[in-house]
Amino acid sequence: MDHFPLRGRVALVTGVSRRIGIAYALTRRLAALGADVLAHSWAPHDAEHPWGADPLGEEGVLGHLRGELPAGAGRVVGRSGDLGDPAEPAAAVDATVAEFGAIDVVVATHARSSLQDLASMTVAELDACWAVNVRGTLLLAQRYAEARDHSRPGGRLVWFSSGQHLGPMPNELPYAASKGALQQLTASLAAEFAPRGVTVNCVNPGPVDTGYADEALHDWVSRRMPFGRWGRPDDVADLVEWLVSDAAAWMTGRTLDHDGGWSLHLHR
C-alpha cells in the first residue's frame, strides 16, 4: 500500500488562517499523503470576527502543521496575502510554482464572511464578497491554467459553497450571493478545463464545527443533524482527499453535498 499517494504532486490551499478550520485540515491531509503544499492565509479577515485567527509562522499555523505530519510527508510553506487584491491570486500561484517547481492542485477554501440582511446590506460589502469569493477564485483558476504544465497528472480544482443552492441564508446576503455564483460557475469551468485533463468540483460541507457557533446555535444545529453532531474538518478532508486522488479522475463539474444529511433537515 502506498502511504504517500500524492508524492510528487504540488498543491495550493487557500484560507489556512485557523488551526481549527477546514483549510488547516486539508493542508495537513494533503501533505500527509505526500503532496508539497503552499498554505495561503489572510489572518486579518478572521481577526475581525469573534472566532479570531492564528498567526501563520512557526509559532502558529505552520509550526503546528509541521509538528503533526508523519515522517516522509510533503513539504509545507506559507504565504500571507489578501485575495481581494486583484494581483494576489496570480502571485499565490506563481509563488507555489517558484517554491516547488509546479502546481497540480488548487483547493480554494478561502471565504469572506458577511452578516448582512437586506436592510443592512451595503455596496461596499457586496463588492468585497464578490472580490474575494468569486473574483479571487476565478483569478486563481486563470493563473493556474497559464502556469500549470498540463502534461503532468493530477490536475484538480476544488472550491466551496455553503449550501446556498439548498436553502435560504437571508442574514448573509452578500456572502450567499457570492458563494452561490461560485457554485454556479463550477460546470462552466469544468468544461473549460476538461480538455486539459483537469477536474473542477465544488464542495458543500454543511455545518462544520470550526468554532464560530455560540452554544445556542451549536445545540440547535446538533439536534437537527441526522447523526446528532456537527461535521468535523476531517470529514471534509476525507472527501477532498478523494477528489484530488487519481480515483476521482472521472468526477468533474459537480457540487457535492457532503453535509452529513443536513439538507434532509432543510427539505423536511
All structural domains of the chain, each given as residue ranges with its CATH number in brackets, are 10-267 (3.40.50.720)
The dihedral sign for the CA sequence 66, 159, 260, 253? negative
Check whether 230 has a pLDDT greater than 90: yes
At 190, the amino acid letter reads A
pLDDT of residue 268: 56
- Return the number of other C-beta atoms located less than 10 Å from residue 211's C-beta: 12
**Comparison of pLDDT for 57 and 132, the residue scoring more:** 132
In angstroms, the Cα distances linking 163 to 13, 63, 112, 167 are: 21, 33, 15, 7
pLDDT of residue 55: 82
Grid cell of 258 as nine digits: 457532503
Q: Is 175 a catalytic residue?
A: yes
In angstroms, the Cα distances linking 2 to 5, 76, 109, 113, 158 are: 6, 20, 27, 38, 23
pTM above 0.85, yes or no: yes
pLDDT band, residue 140 (cuts 50/70/90)? very high
pLDDT of residue 267: 60
Q: Which of 24, 144, 175, 212 is catalytic?
A: 175
H or E, element range at 256: strand 255-257
Alpha-helical runs (H) found in 116-227: 123-129, 136-147, 173-193, 215-224
Measuring CA to CA, which residue among 131, 166, 133 is closest to residue 255?
Answer: 166
pLDDT of residue 12: 98
